[in-house]
Amino acid sequence: MKEELNLKEIIEVLWKGKFIILIFSIVALIISGIYSFVIADPVYRGSATISLNSIPELPDNLQPVIAELTSEEVIEQLVKSPEVLSTLIEEQGLDESVDSLRNAFEVKLLNNANISISVALTDTNKEKIVNLIDRVTELTKEQLIENIKLRLEVLADDYQEQIIIEEELTSELINEYNTLISQEELPALLLMQANTPGGQYILVDADRELIEEFKNLKKTVYTEFIRLNTQIEDSTNRFNTNSQRLEEINNVDPIDIVNLRINEISETTIGNQPIAPNKSLNLAVALFLGVVLGVMTVYIKNMMQDNEK
């Protein structure tokens, strides 16, 4: 019975203060409506997709390098890299930092049938969204080409250095070899550079009967001959291997690799309806807050009146 009386009292208090609750609700709706429909600029979301092909087939010494540089994760990170974003800021004249622009872009790897990367951006300016997404995807592609180019240059320098080392070593061994042979009055061994694209070296002798004559050498001389011959052959093989790898690098075009890896970059699309502000949600929240504030005001007013009595 007491609970029924309390509920009845609550309803009576609310009914007496219904106009206060109504006023608070209307005011809250008006404020929310002015903000949502007049003050707040509509925010749009645009996106583009980078579709990827499988990593192109390359020589064995280059395949792991290119696979690492063009992996889906690397391309995904490259979109929001400082190199790409700083260039974008400079080109577009943006008054933003790299960190703020990085937070504005939404980049994620899509797990669908075709490997692809989604690049999205939200802003109040549709034209700005299109320009930034289109350009950031282009810059990502350009930076990817540059990264591959730099890595190939490092590899080429390493192979060139090894070629020089092996060439000098082979020349020293040939001289030592010929000195040994001259002491035994046998024909000298010659090192000739073959007329091939890789400039590989081949060993030739001045007498086809050279090997037969070595059989008559003293054991110590013959052992030294075998040692030098093996070292010369090994060094020449290393020289030729490095020359071949250098030639393979020189025949690789980073632009072709990236064009094969990146299937296409879709046009930037923007939804017709803004994603913010959510006018319906704003009005609903405002109405709820207006009712709550109105009810609180009515009860506070009622308590103050009871205290005065």
CA-CA-CA-CA torsion sign (8, 13, 14, 19): positive
Please tell me whether the peptide bond between 277 and the residue prior to it is cis, using omega within 30 degrees of 0.
yes
Does residue 146 belong to any structural domain of this protein?
no
Domains contained in the chain, number: 1
Cβ-count burial of 51 within 10 angstroms (0-12 exposed, 13-18 middle, 19+ buried)? Answer: middle
Task: Examine the pLDDT at 255 and tell me if it is beyond 50.
Answer: yes
Beta carbons within 8 Å of 239's beta carbon, 6+ residues apart: 163, 166, 167, 170, 200, 201
Q: With contact defined as beta carbons under 8 Å apart, do 52 and 263 qualify? A: yes
Q: Give how far the C-alpha of residue 97 lies from the chain's centroid of Cα atoms, to the nearest Å.
A: 19
Q: What angle do CA 183, 189, 192 make, to 5 degrees?
A: 150
At residue 206 the predicted structure's pLDDT band, cuts being 50, 70 and 90, is very low
Does residue 284 belong to any structural domain of this protein?
no
Q: Which of 75, 69, 250, 58 is nearest to 155 (CA)?
A: 250
CA-CA distance, 121 to 195, in Å (whole number)? Answer: 56
Does residue 197 belong to any structural domain of this protein?
yes
Q: With contact defined as beta carbons under 8 Å apart, do 143 and 50 qualify? A: no
CA-CA distance, 278 to 270, in Å (whole number)? Answer: 17
H-type alpha helices, the chain: 2-16, 18-34, 63-69, 72-79, 82-92, 98-104, 126-183, 210-214, 219-250, 254-261, 279-308
The stretch 201-217 carries a mean pLDDT of 51
Q: Which residue has the higher pLDDT, 40 or 221?
A: 40
The stretch 169-177 carries a mean pLDDT of 87
Cβ-count burial of 236 within 10 angstroms (0-12 exposed, 13-18 middle, 19+ buried)? Answer: buried
Does residue 26 belong to any structural domain of this protein?
no
Q: Which residue has the higher pLDDT, 209 or 30?
A: 30
Does residue 9 belong to any structural domain of this protein?
no
Q: Give how far the C-alpha of residue 104 lies from the chain's centroid of Cα atoms, to the nearest Å.
A: 17
Structure-block tokens of residue 164:
């020089």
Which pLDDT tens digit goes with each residue over 56-100?
888 888 999 999 999 999 999 999 999 999 999 999 999 999 999
Domain that holds residue 207: 158-251
Q: Which residue has the higher pLDDT, 54 or 196?
A: 54
CA-CA distance, 113 to 49, in Å (whole number)? Answer: 14
Q: What backbone phi and psi angles, to 5 degrees, belong to 218?
A: -65, 155
| pLDDT of the residue at 45 | 94
Q: Which residue has the higher pLDDT, 218 or 199?
A: 218
Does residue 174 belong to any structural domain of this protein?
yes
Under DSSP, the state recorded for 45 is E
CA-CA-CA-CA torsion sign (7, 9, 14, 16): positive
Does residue 163 belong to any structural domain of this protein?
yes
User: pTM of the prediction?
Assistant: 0.75
Which pLDDT tens digit goes with each residue over 264-309?
899 999 988 888 888 889 999 999 999 999 889 988 888 887 676 5
Tell me which range, 7-16, 203-212, 234-243, is most confidently predicted by mean pLDDT.
234-243
CA-CA distance, 180 to 187, in Å (whole number)? Answer: 10
CA-CA distance, 24 to 287, in Å (whole number)? Answer: 9
H-type alpha helices, 184-195: none
Does residue 74 belong to any structural domain of this protein?
no
| pLDDT of the residue at 196 | 43
